[in-house]
Structure 1
Amino acid sequence: MAARPLSPLAAAREAAGYTQEHLATTLKVERTTIGRWERGVQSPQPWQRRGLAAALRVSLEELDDLLRQTLRHPAAPVGTSALVPSQTSPVPAPAAQDTHVDGPVPEVDVIHAAIPRLRRALDRLDLPDDGPTRSPADLRGEIVRASDDRLQSRYGSLARRLPELIAELARAGQLGDAADRRQAAALLTLALRAADGVAFKFGYLDLSARLIDLMRSAAQIAEDPLLLAAVAYVRTETFFATGDLDTAARALELAADQVPVLGTASSSAAFGALHMRAAVVAGRAGKADLAADHLREARHAAAAVPEGIYQGTAFGPASLRIHELAVAVELRDPLGIERAATWHPPSELPAERRSHYYIELARALLALGHHEDAYLCLQAARQAAPEHTRTHPQVRQSLSALLRTHSAPSSGLLDLAAWARAR
């Protein structure tokens, strides 16, 4: 039987971790009833909606919205594979992909379906729901896993787990003594950072700004200056979005000045990462001398630490090389670009970092007129981190430029452009 895509209601079910059979058992209905709801051929009765909303972890108003979307855009009839774009997503729907009725929902749909649950978890940070709270060691393990998912571009896995993890960390912050609460706040800061990785990349800029504010508050409760440095690093996204480069530069320089004495690898990495980020800001502002100064500071710090993940940020000699390329691209420096192009990121670097390198290199090569090399770099970025590449605005810009410069684009370029939703 031909495959068909699933509806917004089905995506919400998948995001909540239910199969059709499991949800039917929970609600004491037939599995075929769930299927009819998800295909938009029947709606839940009024007395069934409260239980369905509770199972999906959405409010009754959010459930009504999901049902309206499903009725407007039901799953395609059997034998077709057309996808209808979501009316509530801030970014376009993905290219058509077939999934069996009981198969996995496309990752992008899982992410959009999980965003209301994430917002609600943030609304309740000071009033978390009752529930189990694992030990600090177990929660640290969950944070390591969440950070790894973000850095490896596994956004669907993150979106499924983060609302409950954030709620659990909020409960942990209300237990124990002052030291326990500081530890819970530190873990919450990193969980919020992982959430921002999803929100920012998928176009929820208002949610990203809110998450960054909450990160700052949690880091202050944790009383950890290195976490505050990590928040300053992430906060640059807000200034990039508004084009306020002067404020971005001031914030990064102030944060670097407040990093503790560089006596440990963690403090050196925090200091170096801030200067690495500040170099990109200066490059975007066209301030070549200032960018060079920041890169010098970052190189000095990178020489003292191994490549690794520090407070959620990848830093070390390889990460610095990627940012050196970004600065050369911002400054339109052909020699700097050529130097950077002779190097390739090692496979042990996080997928997001590797894809970022190839995305920047593609943009640089395109500006230099090396169109085929630019296309190959975008393919390499896709291979390294598909969802990061697909959601990156520079990828769509580069592909659009490549399409304009080719009177007869290759099938590979057309397929890549369709996958990334470039025009």
Structure 2
Amino acid sequence: MSTEQKPDGVGARVAEERKLIGWTQARLAAEANVSASLVKAVEQGRAPASPSFISACARALKVGVTALLEQPYPRETRSEQMVHAGIPDIRRELAVYRIPPDDIPPRELSELAVDVGRASKMRHMVNLGELGRLLPTLLHDLRVAWHSSEGHDRERIFGLLAETYAATSQVVYKLGYIDLASLAVDRYEWAAEQSGDELAVLVGDYQRAGEMIGVADWAGAERFLEGSRKAIEPELGKGNPATLAMWGNLHLKSGLAAARAGRRDTADAHLAEATETAARLGVDRDDYRLCFGPTNVRIWSVGLAVEMLDGTEAVKRSAKVQLPSGTPRERAGHHYIDLARAFLLHGDRTGALSSLQTARRIAPTQTRYHPMVHETVRALARQEARSTETLRGFAAWCGIGRA
């Protein structure tokens, strides 16, 4: 891609929205609390847009994040259409979540538990198409079950329903339906409250904080998560592994909020707390389908450095990341997407493209639809006088026509 070509991607849409309301680059920089040089670089396509830049600009311009990302991305092939095929039915189930279902007999609780476990496994494997087609039926069957139960069984069903809503929010988010993902988080919080499980409720707090971070309410997310941690702080001395894992995950999410806000010392402090907690556990766990342990903390350490735009530190931290064979593809793929961003910031274009190719091998659908992959590919293309055949092929696979 020639550097003279008109920029596309997030930068072009930020410029368009800015001009529609008559703002200069300097005005947008002031309103979004970012540097004017960064606004100029992103609009000109010389720098990729980071998640913090995107959410800050969206908030300042009063547009949705999806408007700047142009999500969901166009579906141009039958296979892409099939990946999205479950979305309309998911949307319907999220809409009727409290409506009594038709008078049909409920399935056995043990059968439902098996299917929910299968859905969560698909989520970790990033099998988005098959999972998207499974979820509507599973949500319906769980709705039948909780309307037909009482007591402990009813609480157990709500716990399974909450886990299914968590998988739902991840599927629709990864496919670019961000508002639908927010609705799934609402449904998760409702179901978790009905389950009577305090830690499940805190998983809802973890998700809610993610929603706040996504709309650039970083300080609010930090305050909210501080309150969440206080709810279980008195229990830490008992050493319950699930409680410790939740404590560590809440610190990691706080670290993300701080990193997006540019508060490096605070982000590092949260990372240190999570690292200490992971060392106390000594093993990787998957309580409430939130991975936590030494491996995930190291993965997060790389991602947090990338969020702070310190590619050199991120690459340095990545040397300590050893992914066990059982690492969920969702986490491993995300790690290599972050590592590609790290190498780009570090000035190693070869390392960036290699990391993207690794992410594609591990979790192809996640990589194909990840907006940071698109931004990284565009930045790589613009930094080269002529894009390599490998880069052009990767861009075409992602659906980026002008790389």
CA distance in 2, matches of 1:334, 1:120: 42
Are residues 1:376 and 2:354 paired? yes
CA distance in 2, matches of 1:90, 1:327: 24
Q: Residue 269 of structure 1: CA displacement?
A: 0.7
Number of corresponding residues: 326
- Partner of 1:322 in structure 2? 299
CA distance in 2, matches of 1:394, 1:385: 14
Are residues 1:309 and 2:286 paired? yes
Letter paired with 1:357: H
RMSD between superposed Cα atoms in Å: 1.8
Q: Residue 178 of structure 1: CA displacement?
A: 1.7
Kept in 2, the 8 Å contact 1:95–1:419? The answer is no
Letter paired with 1:93: P
- Partner of 2:257 in structure 1? 281
Are residues 1:416 and 2:394 paired? yes
Q: Residue 352 of structure 1: CA displacement?
A: 0.9
Letter paired with 1:341: S
CA distance in 1, matches of 2:88, 2:308: 40
- Partner of 1:180 in structure 2? 153
Query: What stretches of structure 1 move > 6 A for 4+ residues in a row?
Result: none
Structure 2: where are the runs of 5+ without partners? 1-69
TM-score calculated relative to the size of structure 2: 0.77
- Partner of 1:226 in structure 2? 199
Letter paired with 1:376: S
Structure 1: where are the runs of 5+ without partners? 1-88, 97-104
* Alignment map for 1:331-346 (pairs within 5 Å): 331-333=308-310, 336-342=313-319, 343-346=321-324
Are residues 1:118 and 2:99 paired? no
Structure number having the greater helix percentage: 2
Picking from 365, 371, 388, the partner of 1:393 is 371
- Partner of 1:9 in structure 2? none
- Partner of 2:73 in structure 1? 92
Could you list the per-position Cα deviations for residues 284-321 of structure 1 after superposition, in whole angstroms to 9, with x for gaps in the alignment?
11111211221122112212332121101111111110
- Partner of 2:6 in structure 1? none
Q: Residue 333 of structure 1: CA displacement?
A: 3.3
Give SS of 1:275's match. helix
Give SS of 2:113's match. helix
TM-score calculated relative to the size of structure 1: 0.74
- Partner of 2:169 in structure 1? 196
Letter paired with 1:291: A
Letter paired with 1:158: L
Kept in 2, the 8 Å contact 1:132–1:168? The answer is no
Q: Residue 123 of structure 1: CA displacement?
A: 2.5
Could you list the per-position Cα deviations for residues 103-156 of structure 1 after superposition, in whole angstroms to 9, with x for gaps in the alignment?
xx51x3124332121122222222223434222222111111111111110011
Letter paired with 1:300: E
Picking from 250, 275, 278, the partner of 1:299 is 275
Q: Residue 158 of structure 1: CA displacement?
A: 0.9
Letter paired with 2:289: G
CA distance in 1, matches of 2:148, 2:382: 59
Picking from 403, 410, 421, the partner of 2:381 is 403
* Alignment map for 1:334-373 (pairs within 5 Å): 336-342=313-319, 343-373=321-351
Kept in 2, the 8 Å contact 1:361–1:377? The answer is yes
Kept in 1, the 8 Å contact 2:73–2:176? The answer is no
Q: Which has the larger radius of gyration?
A: 1
